[in-house]
Amino acid sequence: MKIVDAKVVVTSPGRNFVTLKLTTDDGLTGLGDATLNGRELAVVSYLTDHVAPLLLGLDPHRIEDTWQYLYRGAYWRRGPVTMAAIAAVDVALWDIKAKAAGLPLYQLLGGASRDRVRTYGHANGRDIPELLDSVRARLDEGYQAVRIQSGIPGLKAVYGVHSTDDDGSAVLHQQARPLVEDWDTDAYLRHIPAVFDAVRSEFGADLPLLHDAHHRLTPVQAGRLGRDLEPYRPFWLEDCTPAENQEALRLVRANTTTPLAIGEVFNTVYDYQTLITEQLIDYVRSAVTHFGGVTPLRKLFDFAAQYQIKSAIHGPEDISPVGMAAAVHLDLAVHNFGIQEYSGHTALTNEVFRHAYTFADGHLHPGEAPGIGVELDEEMAAAHPYEAAYLPVNRLQDGSVHDW
């Protein structure tokens, strides 16, 4: 079997998605997600200008070799653009291999280790009453674990709150210029324990509650927040510091037993080396889409398993249904699965990307369709062309830029 076509499809059914479609001389097709929110066209160019010409004529069954060829062969390694492009190729090849075998992908990854995949959904509110309503809405949808994000008194717009539509739809971050949000760490640190207190009082001790600090804290601030949240037993505190500096997590870890989750902006296992070997975190959060695909993510999970660290694949709206499908196959198969983030997609997105995975009672299942189980409607995709969009930026009260 040979790859005879490699095509990149960009579509915006509410937000931008980049998809690689590989076709073989046997007529099999494979899809891979290459969406890098806010920098989509850089990956399109990487794929069409530099990768697609190399794929033509290759045997699609040689997944590991193709991965190494694209990773080592570029000389310039790592980085989100490179790794999103390689991820798309990797997932498309797994899709083809599983279709050729007539099996859903999870069967090629060792088969199911569980019956279904536990997810968490997003709840948010500009204030506590609005957040409580949002938690109630997620529970009504069936979610059994919820991430809680709240507005902060005195701040106009903060991560995870202002930008979510009432119906959870995908206008999120679709801005022609970066929206400017504001930030004040002290105000945040004072407010969040009260948010947890209110949610615990309303919904009881059992509901798993997660929270995303979105890279904004120093290690000592993160240690303080983790400690302040301990009485509320959070499921995890996510991205407490910008963890490029892995050693910083030693300080956080020494100061709190709140479980820590990190990694949605990481691209390779090297970003995790200290965090995993020193057991500084509890969950690895990378997306299939930004980590180079199923092949390296599986290796990461096996590495993490040696340290009792679990998987928690990144799954916001900007991971396309193609990336989400690949994630759910991996979730079902790996032993050290922790939880899967799942925000769902708009009805229109689900029409452009028809998928076999299903959501019920807060759990996902990848379905039994051969491959990853996603079909791209290219006509519909073409009817919703690319729209320029940026993620927001963050400024402190004095006007200086802060991590978003």
Residues of this chain that bind ligand GCO (CB under 6 A): 37, 212, 214, 264, 314, 316, 318, 341, 391
Work out whether the CA dihedral 245, 78, 307, 90 comes out positive or negative.
Answer: positive
Residue closer to ligand GCO, measured from CB, 6 or 339: 339
Q: Encoding tokens for residue 338?
A: 């922790």
Of positions 212, 282, 318, 331, contacts Mg ion by CB under 5 A: 212
**d(C-alpha 368, C-alpha 360), whole Å:** 16
In whole angstroms, the minimum distance from the beta carbon of 258 to ligand GCO comes to 17
Distance CA(170)–CA(17), nearest Å, equals 12
Only segment of 204-212, 221-229, 254-262, 354-362 that touches Mg ion (CB under 5 A): 204-212
Residue 167 DSSP SS3: coil
What span, in angstroms and rounded, lies between the C-alpha atoms of 395 and 402?
5
For helices 128-140 and 185-203, the axis angle rounded to 10 degrees is 50
Q: Given the complex with Mg ion, which of 28 and 243 has the nearer CB atom? A: 243
* The pairing of beta strand 310-311 with beta strand 209-212: unpaired
21/381 Cα distance (integer angstroms): 13
Q: Identify whether the C-beta of residue 267 lies closer than 8 Å to the C-beta of residue 290.
A: yes
Active site residue 71: no
Per partner kind, with CB cut-offs from 5 to 8 A, the member of ligand GCO, Mg ion, none near residue 341 is ligand GCO
The yes or no reply on residue 341 touching Mg ion (CB under 5 A) is no
Cα 7 to Cα 37: distance, rounded to the nearest angstrom:
20
Nearest distance from C-beta of residue 177 to ligand GCO, angstroms: 16
- C-beta of 28 vs 148, nearer to ligand GCO: 148
User: Looking at beta carbons only, is 96 or 170 nearer to ligand GCO?
Assistant: 170
Return d(Cα 307, Cα 253) in angstroms, integer: 15
Q: Residue 318 CB, nearest distance to ligand GCO (Å)? A: 4
Q: In sequence order, what are the beta bridge partners of 120?
A: 341
Closest CB to ligand GCO among residues 66, 163: 163
Q: In the bound complex, what is the minimum distance in angstroms from residue 87's beta carbon to ligand GCO?
A: 15
Establish whether 386 is a catalytic residue.
no
Radius of gyration of the chain (CA): 20
Does the protein bind Mg ion through residue 271 (CB under 5 A)? no
Q: Which is nearer to ligand GCO, 28 or 161 (CB)?
A: 161
Which DSSP state fits 325?
H
Using CB distances below 5 to 8 A depending on partner kind, what does residue 316 bind out of ligand GCO, Mg ion, none?
ligand GCO
Chosen from ligand GCO, Mg ion, none, partner binding at 9 (C-beta under 5 to 8 Å by type): none
Q: Kindly name the residue from 122, 173, 211, 214 that is annotated as catalytic.
A: 214
Catalytic residue among 120, 159, 272, 283: 159
The residue among 33, 56, 16, 3 whose CA lies nearest residue 374 is 33
Q: State in angstroms the smallest separation of the CB of 36 from ligand GCO.
A: 8
Question: Where does this chain bind Mg ion (CB under 5 A)?
Answer: 212
Q: Which residues are catalytic?
A: 159, 214
